[in-house]
C-alpha cells in the first residue's frame, strides 16, 4: 500500500493478532516494526489473513507537505474493508468484553481496602504544605466526611443518613447506604466514653436494627480507633462478624496494633 511521496497515499498498519497497534506507518517508519507484540507477545501482521484477500491493512494517511502534530494513531479496524472478513482480534475482544462484564465485583473487598487505609489517609492529609488548613479527625462526623470522600472512588449511589425501621422502640439513621450494592455502612469513633464494652453493646443493637432494613444485605461497621481505646480489636471483630442468611455483618476496627 506504500504510495509515492509526491501524492496522497495510505501507509500500512502493523497489528498483533490480539489487536494491539504496533505502527500505522509500517513503510515510512520501519524503525517501529516488530515481529511480535511487546504488550502481549502475539505475532504481528500487516496483511489480511484471508488468503483470498491478502491486502495490506490501511494505516496513516499521508498528504505531501502536511505534518500532523496531534499524535493520534489510526484506529485498528475489526473487519477487512476489502473482503469483509473479521480480523482475528475481533472475536478475542468480544470474548474479553464478555468475560470482564461477567466478573462480579467484590464490593466488600473494596470497602476493606478503603477502611484499612483510612488511618494512613487521615495522617497524610494533615501533612500539608506551609501548614495550610486541613481536617483533623476529632469525632464521628469527621470520620463520616472523610470516609464519604473515599467511597466515591468506587461507588456511585451513596446515600447518607437514611431512616431505618425501629427496634425495641427506637429508630435511627444509617450513616451510609450503598443502594446498588445493598450495603449499609455504620461509622463509629472510639472515645473515653466509648470503649470496648460500650462499643460492643452499641454494635449489637445496631445489628438488630439493620436486620429490618429492606436494602441491607450486608452491614459494614467501620470503627475508627486512633487512640487505641480497644485493647483486643480482633476479639470484637470475631465475636460480631457473621455470615447470616439474611444479612452479613462485617466489623472492621482500624487501626490495630498500637
Q: Which of 67, 102, 137 is the last residue of a domain?
A: 102
- 200 & 89 share domain: no
Cis peptide before 161 (omega within 30 of 0): no
**Grid coordinates of 36:** 511480535
Count of domains forming the chain: 2
Of 48, 74, 102, at which residue does a domain stop? 102
- Does a structural domain hold residue 1? no
228 and 154 housed in the same domain: yes
Pair 154, 92 in one domain: no
Task: Say what the pTM is.
Answer: 0.58
Query: Strand pairing partners for 252?
Result: 222
Per residue in 183-212, is it b (16+ CB within 10 Å) or e — as a string? Answer: bbbbbbbbeeebebeebbeebeebbebbbe
- Res 100: pLDDT: 58
Structure-derived torsion over alpha carbons of residues 16, 20, 24, 28, reported in degrees to the nearest 10: -50
Domain interval for residue 32: 9-102
pLDDT at 64: 79
pLDDT at 81: 95
Burial class (CB in 10 A: 0-12, 13-18, 19+), 138: exposed
Q: What confidence score (pLDDT) does residue 166 get?
A: 44
pLDDT in tens, the chain (258 residues): 555 556 888 999 999 999 999 999 999 899 999 999 888 888 999 999 999 999 999 999 888 776 665 567 789 999 999 999 999 999 887 776 666 556 667 899 999 999 999 998 998 888 877 778 888 889 999 999 999 999 999 898 998 866 555 444 444 566 899 988 999 999 999 999 998 999 999 999 889 888 878 889 999 999 999 999 999 999 999 999 999 888 999 999 999 865
121 lies in the same domain as 191: yes
Taking CA atoms, 8 is separated from 32, 58, 59, 68, 75, in Å, by 22, 13, 13, 14, 19
Q: Are residues 224 and 144 in the same domain?
A: yes
Give me the pLDDT at residue 71, please: 60
C-alpha gyration radius of the chain: 29
Location of C-alpha cell 468480544: 94
Single residue among 60, 75, 102 that ends a domain in this structure: 102
C-beta of residue 233 within 8 angstroms of C-beta of residue 190: no
The answer to the question of residue 4 being in a domain is no
Burial of 24 (0-12, 13-18, 19+ CB in 10 A): buried
The reply to whether 227 and 114 lie within a common domain is yes
* Cell numbers at 42, concatenated: 502475539
Amino acid at each position: 500500500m506504500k504510495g509515492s511521496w509526491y501524492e496522497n497515499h495510505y501507509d500500512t498498519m502493523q497489528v498483533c493478532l490480539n489487536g494491539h497497534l504496533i505502527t500505522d506507518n509500517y513503510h515510512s517508519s520501519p524503525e517501529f516494526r516488530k515481529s511480535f507484540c511487546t504488550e502481549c507477545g502475539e505475532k504481528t501482521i500487516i496483511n489480511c489473513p484471508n488468503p483470498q484477500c491478502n491486502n495490506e491493512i490501511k494505516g496513516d494517511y499521508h498528504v505531501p507537505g502536511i505534518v500532523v502534530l496531534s499524535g493520534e494513531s489510526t484506529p485498528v479496524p475489526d473487519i477487512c474493508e476489502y473482503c469483509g472478513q473479521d480480523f482475528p482480534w475481533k472475536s478475542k475482544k468480544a470474548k474479553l468484553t464478555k468475560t470482564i462484564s461477567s466478573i462480579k465485583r467484590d464490593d466488600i473487598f473494596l470497602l476493606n481496602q478503603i477502611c484499612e487505609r483510612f488511618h494512613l489517609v487521615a495522617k497524610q492529609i494533615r501533612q500539608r504544605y506551609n501548614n495550610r488548613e486541613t481536617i483533623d479527625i476529632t469525632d464521628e462526623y469527621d470520620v463520616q466526611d472523610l470516609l464519604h470522600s473515599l467511597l466515591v472512588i468506587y461507588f456511585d449511589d451513596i446515600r447518607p443518613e437514611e431512616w431505618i425501621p425501629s427496634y425495641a422502640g427506637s429508630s435511627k439513621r444509617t450513616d451510609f447506604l450503598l443502594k446498588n450494592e445493598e450495603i449499609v455502612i455504620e461509622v463509629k469513633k472510639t472515645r473515653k466514653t466509648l470503649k470496648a464494652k460500650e462499643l460492643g453493646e452499641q454494635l449489637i443493637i445496631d445489628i438488630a436494627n439493620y436486620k429490618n432494613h429492606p436494602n441491607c444485605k450486608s452491614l459494614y461497621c467501620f470503627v475508627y480507633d486512633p487512640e487505641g481505646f480497644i485493647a483486643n480489636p480482633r476479639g470484637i471483630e470475631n465475636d460480631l462478624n457473621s455470615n447470616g442468611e439474611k444479612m452479613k455483618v462485617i466489623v472492621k476496627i482500624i487501626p490495630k496494633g498500637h
